[in-house]
């Protein structure tokens, strides 16, 4: 995709509330047909940014374009977007059918057109059989589908979703993720989703924008953000990571040597990035990339330690290991085969190691 594919374009967007800057100079292109996720902790500015796109807030400076048109002078009801709220905001006294039809009825569309489009929207979300029910007669997942049908019936260019799965229990949330992704593909509408749930963003989005204190810290495909975090904040926020301070000792044709006292000595790293001898650096080690063995010779970049805690999670086990250096690191391994059920126990001596090409070096 290129900038020419952008259906949403933000340039230098700033929004303040008194002395607090909620959105701080955001530049962003969102492409046609994307399922794009704005990801971050509470208070990072992601919901404010969504409300700016919807027209519920006005930027203090900057420009927002949708399909090449400047949105500055357009109120929410004239923008080619629709928004699905976290609470779903369904009218409790109306039937499912009337809830979905509400937007078209407000536009005074012909009754025949409304009936046809309501039926199509309900069929898309597999809720046609529930058209006569009221919201209080539906499950949480069914209410979510009705809210989605109401949001798509006006055929917006962009659909904005504010924590769309937050009200669902875990198993229903996991199943609904796949349904929502498939529906987005069939509709071809650009979805912009706000979430604080990194698993949700990773599983659903074509691209993720990680926000912190009103700024976009990193934007990219889920795998790229996970495998190549831009800094310590992203590394820590996306997934689990051991982040160890280190100092560049030397470079050569196959990588670099770092002094990492928290690991216990010198280590080899294949991709040192922008690390410099006179600047701070940190090694990002994902738990699943650390090999765990009974105490022995170990492999590349090995260190000895003792299992302090272990959590069996069915498909994997999570270990907290106290290294001889005093650092506690997290490692994980897949529970594959009958031998995995025995695993390790608290107090066991182990050797941890990792290959030089698995560490990511960040400098901020």
Q: What is the mean pLDDT of each run of 10 residues along the chain (364 residues)?
A: 76 96 96 95 93 95 95 90 83 92 88 91 87 90 86 89 78 79 88 90 94 96 95 93 96 93 95 90 96 79 94 88 95 73 80 95 94
Which residues on adjacent β-strands are paired with residue 158? 81, 190
**Which position has the token pair 């999570």?**
318
Between the two ends of the chain, the Cα-to-Cα distance in Å is 29
**Which position has the token pair 């589908």?**
145
Q: How far is CA 305 from the centre of its chain?
A: 33
In this prediction the pTM is 0.86
Contact between 287 and 333 (Cβ < 8 Å): no
Q: What is the pLDDT of residue 339?
A: 47
**Residue 358: φ, ψ to 5°:** -95, -20
Element (H, E) at 260: strand 255-260
Q: What is the pLDDT of residue 3?
A: 45
Query: For residue 159, which of 121, 215, 111 has the smallest C-alpha distance?
Result: 121
Which residues on adjacent β-strands are paired with residue 352? 292, 303
Length of the chain equals 364
Q: What is the pLDDT of residue 139?
A: 85
Q: What is the pLDDT of residue 297?
A: 66
CA distance 306 to 351: 8
Contact between 269 and 356 (Cβ < 8 Å): yes
Query: For residue 124, which of 94, 96, 153 has the smallest C-alpha distance?
Result: 153
At 202 the three-state DSSP class reads helix
Q: What is the pLDDT of residue 107?
A: 85
CA distance 118 to 132: 12
Q: What is the pLDDT of residue 315?
A: 84
CA distance 316 to 126: 35
Q: What is the CA radius of gyration of the chain?
A: 25
């Amino acid at each position: 995709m290129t900038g020419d594919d952008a259906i949403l374009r933000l340039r230098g967007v700033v929004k303040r509330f008194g002395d607090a800057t909620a959105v701080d100079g955001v530049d962003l292109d969102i492409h046609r047909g994307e399922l794009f996720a704005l990801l971050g902790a509470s208070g990072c500015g992601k919901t404010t940014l969504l409300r700016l796109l919807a027209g519920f807030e006005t930027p203090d400076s900057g420009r927002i374009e949708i399909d090449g048109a400047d949105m500055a002078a357009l109120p929410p009801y004239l923008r080619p977007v629709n928004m699905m709220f976290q609470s779903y905001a369904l009218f409790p006294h109306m039937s499912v059918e009337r809830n979905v039809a509400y937007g078209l009825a407000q536009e005074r569309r012909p009754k025949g057109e409304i009936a046809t489009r309501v039926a199509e929207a309900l069929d898309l979300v597999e809720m046609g059989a529930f058209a006569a029910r009221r919201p209080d007669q539906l499950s949480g997942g069914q209410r979510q589908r009705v809210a989605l049908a109401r949001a798509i019936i006006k055929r917006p260019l962009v659909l904005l979703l504010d924590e769309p799965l937050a009200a669902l229990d875990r198993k229903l949330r996991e199943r609904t993720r796949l349904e929502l992704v498939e529906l987005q593909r069939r509709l071809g509408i650009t979805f912009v989703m706000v979430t604080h749930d990194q698993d949700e963003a990773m599983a659903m989005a074509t691209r993720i924008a990680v926000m912190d204190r009103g700024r976009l810290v990193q934007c990219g495909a889920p795998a790229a953000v996970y495998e190549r975090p831009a800094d310590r904040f992203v590394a820590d926020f996306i997934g689990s990571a051991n982040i160890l301070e280190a100092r560049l000792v030397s470079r050569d044709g196959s990588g670099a040597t770092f002094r990492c006292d928290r690991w216990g000595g010198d280590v080899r790293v294949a991709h040192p990035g922008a690390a410099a001898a006179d600047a701070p650096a940190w090694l990002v080690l994902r738990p699943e990339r650390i090999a765990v063995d009974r105490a022995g010779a170990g492999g590349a970049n090995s260190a000895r330690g003792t299992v302090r805690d272990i959590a069996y999670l069915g498909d994997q086990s999570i270990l907290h290991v106290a290294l001889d250096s005093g650092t506690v690191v997290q490692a994980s391994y897949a529970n594959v085969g009958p031998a995995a059920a025995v695993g390790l126990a608290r107090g066991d001596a182990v050797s941890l190691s990792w290959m030089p090409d698995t560490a990511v070096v960040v400098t901020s």
